[in-house]
Amino acid sequence: MATKEEIVKSVPQTGFFGHPKGLFSLFFTEFWERFSYYGMKAILIYFMYDTVQNGGLGLDKATAASIMAIYGSLVYMSGIIGGWIADRILGTRRTIFWGGILIILGHLSLAIPGGLTFLFASMILIILGTGLLKPNVSSVVGDMYAEDDTRRDAGFNIFYMGINAGAFISPLIVGAVQKEYNYHVGFSIAAIGMAIGLFMYTHKQKQKLGLAGLEPKNPLNIQERNSILKKFIAAVIIVAVLVVIAAMSGMLSIGSVVNFFTVIGLLAPIAVFIWMFTSKKTKKEEKSHLLAYIPLFITSTMFWVIQEQGSTILAAYIDTRTDLTMGSFKIPAAWFQSLNPLFIITMAPIFAWIWVRMGKRQPSTPIKFAFSLLFAGVSFLIMIIPAITSGGKELISPWWIVLSFFLVVVGELLMSPVGLSATTKLAPAAFAAQTMSLWFLTSTAAQALNAQFAKLFAKITEVQYFGYLGGASVLLFLVMLILSPWISKKMGNIR
Ligand code: GLU
Ligand code: ASP
């Protein structure tokens, strides 16, 4: 098996803004993958609750928002499977390729007007495909640089810009196409995007990526393979039997599936923590790091609870409660989904500059995490003002949404770019291959909670809803501020 040095040597080390040539391929693979994901997501909730006459599925809004949330939860949970397959069976590069294929098929399923069956088929394909692709693309980025390469962080920052550039452009295009034609033409744009991404990925791959991500790092031996195959077949049979029993006893409904996956989405991170904490491979000092990571994990979960509602609860709110007319033009509601990535792209360099200027005086990771919750909380609390002044009935100005999204992004920039590196540093070394999945589990847990909050939104007033969740976030901010010295101590010399 190739060593780290051999892999780094096999990758042309310049050719893309002073970065390895392969960064060009991976940047655009992820750009187009996120283009397809966020483009689809920008119109999906509208497709679900729009009337059948308008080409939608006619679901009620709370159900649509719950499905969106559980879908998002599973999209990030499946990274566990994707990471494992890359690590033990296929190698990262091949896993990414198959992920891309599944994602294209997933978007194509929605391009066909086929009702709920095609919606669910598409979701399953995209959940699996994204799990195979997304965490693995990031890990090949890491593979291209030597451990001590000073360009590494900058490489990841460029990559992060690719994510958000894709997320910025697609809602504009998909939203406009959906308005001009229909939902299915919109979804086919997402499929085309992923197809371009897959082309960019495979084109001259050998020259650009060398040996990076080619072989599984920890391949299964024959015995392991046989025993896992047996367990897998047994699990499939058990799940199939349970589904049949649930269907026959009338328990299989959208609601019960949503509730089931809410529980799974919350149990998954707990199980991973217990597994890491009790593992013999985890050293004493690493246990202390893991304890420090728990409050950071909870903080980031609370943050994503609010951030992710931008494309579910707030997306529905934009459509039904804001005044989108500008003269004779009606702004497509989907366009608002471009605001978050637009703010990210424009403000990320400012934040990077501030941290460089502050150098060692910059706030510690726990403090940055804490403040992300303050901004997220205030982004919801300010929504109480239009809720009151409009009496919950009159249409509100879309500028409230712009302001709310802006505040979320300030919080996002305090947490998201440092989150993965904090996870990498705090997870026990024996679990290095799982750290990417561990970080994504914060988004999994958040959206599992959102699946339940979506039902709450339908039951209480807007003032109560924004007040409770915004208030909870601010409260957690205060708790985190108090805890931060303890967390820093437990983190040892890691900042
Ligand atoms: N918005 C970023 C992305 O799509 C981060 C997602 C997350 O960590 O939940 O890559
Ligand atoms: N800011 C998100 C991410 O970094 C994108 C989005 O929510 O549109 O990809």
Query: pLDDT tens across 418-439, in order?
Result: 888 888 888 888 888 788 889 9
Bridge partners (DSSP) listed for residue 289? none
Structure tokens given for 274 = 């217990």
446-460 pLDDT, tens digit each: 999 999 999 999 999
Q: What is the pLDDT of residue 495?
A: 67
Give the number of the ligand closest to the Cα of residue 33.
1
As a dihedral over the C-alpha atoms of residue 442, residue 171, residue 23, residue 89, rounded to 10 degrees, the angle is 50
Ligand 2 close to Cβ of residue 37 (< 6 A):
no
How many Å lie between the centroid of ligand 1 and the Cα of residue 76?
Answer: 9
Strands (E), 206-270: none
Give residues with Cβ within 8 angstroms of 438, minimum separation 6: 269, 272, 423, 427, 431
As a dihedral over the C-alpha atoms of residue 479, residue 481, residue 483, residue 486, rounded to 10 degrees, the angle is 180
- Homologous superfamily assigned to 254-495: MFS general substrate transporter like domains (1.20.1250.20)
Nearest to 444 by CA among 301, 321, 348: 301
Domain boundaries, the chain: 1-219, 254-495
Residue 248: is it exposed, middle or buried by C-beta count within 10 angstroms (0-12/13-18/19+)? exposed
Q: What is the pLDDT of residue 198?
A: 97
- Counting atoms of ligand 1 from 1, which one is nearest the CA of 420? 8
How many Å lie between the centroid of ligand 1 and the Cα of residue 329?
Answer: 32
Q: What is the pLDDT of residue 82?
A: 95
212-237 pLDDT, tens digit each: 899 998 899 999 999 999 999 999 99
Structure tokens given for 196 = 């371009």
Nearest to 487 by CA among 341, 298, 320, 315: 298
The more confident residue out of 211 and 189 is 189
* pLDDT of 468 strictly over 90: yes
At 391, is the pLDDT very low, low, confident or very high (cuts 50, 70, 90)?
A: confident
* pLDDT of 310 strictly over 90: yes
How many Å lie between the centroid of ligand 2 and the Cα of residue 83?
Answer: 21
Instruction: Centre a 10 Å sphere on the Cβ of residue 296 and count the other Cβ atoms it contains.
Output: 26
Looking at every residue in the chain, the average pLDDT score rounds to 94
Mean pLDDT of 332-338: 98
1-219: which CATH number, 1.10.340.70, 3.30.980.10, 1.20.1250.20, 3.10.580.10?
1.20.1250.20
The best mutation among 138, 158, 163 to test binding of ligand 1, ranked by most ligand atoms within 8 Å of the C-beta, falls on 163
| Chain-centre distance for alpha carbon 436 | 11
256-276 pLDDT, tens digit each: 999 999 999 999 999 999 999
User: Hey, whose CA ends up nearest to atom 4 of ligand 2?
Assistant: 164
Ligand 1 close to Cβ of residue 404 (< 6 A):
no
Residues 6 and 211 sit within 8 Å (Cβ to Cβ): yes
Judge if 1-219 and 254-495 fold alike in CATH terms.
yes
Ligand 1 close to Cβ of residue 442 (< 6 A):
no
Q: What secondary structure letter does DSSP report for 397? A: P
* pLDDT of 360 strictly over 80: yes
DSSP codes, 68-101: HHHHHHHHHHTHHHHHHHIIIII-HHHHHHHHHH
User: Hey, whose CA ends up nearest to atom 3 of ligand 1?
Assistant: 163
Give the number of the ligand closest to the Cα of residue 310.
2
Ligand 2 close to Cβ of residue 138 (< 6 A):
no
Give residues with Cβ within 8 angstroms of 284, minimum separation 6: none
Ligand 2 close to Cβ of residue 315 (< 6 A):
no
In the three-class reduction of DSSP (H, G, I as helix; E, B as strand; rest coil), residue 363 is classed as coil
Return the minimum-mean-pLDDT range out of 45-49, 319-323, 383-387, 436-440: 436-440
Q: How far apart are CA 20 and CA 155, in angstroms?
A: 9
The more confident residue out of 197 and 393 is 197
User: Hey, whose CA ends up nearest to atom 8 of ligand 1?
Assistant: 440
Ligand 1 close to Cβ of residue 163 (< 6 A):
yes
Structure tokens given for 200 = 């960019």
Bridge partners (DSSP) listed for residue 254? none
- Counting atoms of ligand 2 from 1, which one is nearest the CA of 171? 8
The best mutation among 27, 33, 34, 372 to test binding of ligand 1, ranked by most ligand atoms within 8 Å of the C-beta, falls on 34
The more confident residue out of 341 and 490 is 341
Residue 172: is it exposed, middle or buried by C-beta count within 10 angstroms (0-12/13-18/19+)? middle
Ligand 1 close to Cβ of residue 443 (< 6 A):
yes
How many Å lie between the centroid of ligand 1 and the Cα of residue 437?
Answer: 12
* pLDDT of 83 strictly over 70: yes
Mean pLDDT of 48-59: 96
Helices (H) and strands (E) counted in the chain, each on its own, are 19, 4
Element (H, E) at 326: strand 325-326
In the three-class reduction of DSSP (H, G, I as helix; E, B as strand; rest coil), residue 421 is classed as helix
Q: What is the pLDDT of residue 106?
A: 98
